[in-house]
Chains A and B, each alone.
Chain A
Amino acid sequence: MAKKKIEPHPMENILRMDRIPHIWCPACGIGTAVTSFASALEKLKVNLDEVCVVSGIGCTGRVAGYTKVDSFHTTHGRAIAYATGVKLGNPKMKVIVFSGDGDIIAIGGNHFMHAARRNIDITVICVNNFIYAMTGGQVAPTTPLTAYATTSPFGNIEPPYNIPRLAEACGAVYVARWTALHVRRLTNSIVEAIQKPGFSVVEVISPCAQYYSRINRLGDGLDMMRFYHDNAVIKHNEPTENLDIDYQKQIIMGKFIDREKPTYIERYNEWLSESKPKKK
Chain B
Amino acid sequence: MKETRAKYWRKSLNLSEFKIPKGKIHILKDRCKGCGFCVEYCPNNVLELSEKFNAKGYHPPKIVNENDCVNCGLCEMVCPDFAIWCTLDKEVCLES
Query: B76-87 interface mask toward A, CB cutoff 8 Å, 1 = contact, 0 = none?
Result: 111111100101
The answer to whether residues A26 and B26 also contact, given A10-B85, A15-B82 and a CB cut-off of 8 A, is no
User: What's the minimum C-beta distance from A209 to chain B, rounded to whole angstroms?
Assistant: 8
Given A221-B35, A222-B37, A222-B40, does the pair A10, B76 have CB atoms closer than 8 Å? yes
A27, B79: Cβ atoms closer than 8 Å: no
Whether the Cβ atoms of B80 and A27 lie closer than 8 Å is yes
Binary interface encoding of chain B residues 1-43 relative to chain A, with 1 for a CB under 8 A from any of its CBs, else 0: 0000000000000000000000000101001011111001100
Q: Is the CB of A11 within 8 A of B82?
A: yes
Selected from B34, B78, B82, the residue in CB contact (under 8 A) with A26 is B34
Size class of B's contact patch? 20 to 34
Chain B residue contacts of A32, Cβ below 8 A: 37, 77-80
Selected from A17, A21, A24, A36, the residue in CB contact (under 8 A) with B77 is A36
For B33, what are the chain A residues with a Cβ–Cβ distance below 8 Å?
21, 25-27
Q: How far is the CB of B47 from chain A (nearest CB, A)?
A: 14
When C-beta atoms are compared, the residue in chain A nearest to B56 turns out to be A21
Kindly provide the distance from the CB of A197 to the nearest chain B CB, expressed in whole angstroms.
28
Q: Residue-by-residue, is A103-128 near B (CB-CB < 8 Å gives 1, otherwise 0)?
A: 00000000000000000000000000
Provide the residues of chain A in CB contact with B26, threshold 8 Å. 7
A181 at the interface (CB under 8 A from B): yes
Chain A: number of interface residues, binned into ranges: 20 to 34
Option from B34, B74, B82, B85 in Cβ contact (under 8 Å) with A31: B82
Total number of residue pairs linking A and B with CB closer than 8 Å: 74
For B56, the chain A residues whose CB sits under 8 A away are 21
Interfacial residues of chain A within 183-226, with CB under 8 A of chain B in the complex: 183-184, 187, 209, 220-222, 225-226
Specify which of B31, B58, B82 lies most central, judged by the most chain A CB atoms within 10 Å of its CB: B82
Q: Is the CB of A31 within 8 A of B28?
A: no
Closest B residue to A12 by beta carbon equals B82
Q: Which residue of A lies closest to B81 (CB)?
A: A31
**Further contacts, 16 of them, CB under 8 A, given A183-B77, A225-B37:** A10-B76, A10-B85, A10-B87, A21-B56, A22-B81, A24-B81, A25-B33, A26-B35, A27-B33, A31-B82, A32-B80, A35-B77, A35-B80, A36-B77, A39-B77, A184-B77
Q: Name 23 A/B residue pairs within 8 A (Cβ), A-sorted.
A: A6-B31, A9-B85, A11-B82, A15-B82, A17-B82, A21-B33, A24-B81, A26-B34, A26-B35, A27-B33, A27-B37, A28-B80, A31-B80, A32-B77, A35-B79, A35-B82, A36-B77, A181-B41, A184-B77, A209-B35, A222-B35, A225-B78, A226-B40
What is A's interface to B at a CB cutoff of 8 Å? Answer: 6-7, 9-11, 15, 17, 20-22, 24-32, 35-36, 39, 181, 183-184, 187, 209, 220-222, 225-226
